Amino acid sequence: MFHPTVAYRNCEHCLKYIYDEKTGKPRERHGEYFERLPTVPAPCRRGGCPKGTPENPKVLSPKNMQAYQHWKECKAVGQFPDDEIVKRNAAMIQEIHDQSKELKQIQMLGLMMTGKMI
């Protein structure tokens, strides 16, 4: 939620090809991706990727990803099971979701104030 441009990016693909960090998409021309040269290291090799590195990723564990997916499904239909673990997980995930929305609003205000919005 905090870094949508890299959230679903494949690390191995990013190591091989150059990405536009603003859009999160691989840079391309005529349907061909730009290969990354050794002189253009990937963001993770410069310490700048929020996902960490392929060797030491900062991602949700499979169990946490399953809990997050369950939360999204329950949220979509507006119905959660009456279960203590689900309630605890939902509270934590909702808090992070709310923080993400607040951060996006702050970033948007910052862009508006600096005149960098299109």
Q: What is the pLDDT of residues 42-95, one digit of tens each?
A: 999 998 899 999 999 888 888 998 999 999 999 999 999 999 999 999 999 999
Confidence of residue 101 (pLDDT cuts 50, 70, 90): confident
Domain spans, the chain = 1-58, 60-118
Q: What is the pLDDT of residues 20-36, one digit of tens each?
A: 988 899 999 999 999 99
For the chain, the average pLDDT equals: 90
Q: Which residues of 11-40 are buried (b: 16+ CB within 10 A; e: fewer)?
A: beebeebbbeeeeeebeeeeeeeeebeeee
Q: How far apart are CA 48 and CA 37, in angstroms?
A: 18
Q: What pLDDT, on a 0 to 100 scale, did the predictor assign at position 67? A: 94
Q: What is the mean pLDDT of residues 3-24?
A: 90
Q: Which residue has the higher pLDDT, 11 or 60?
A: 11
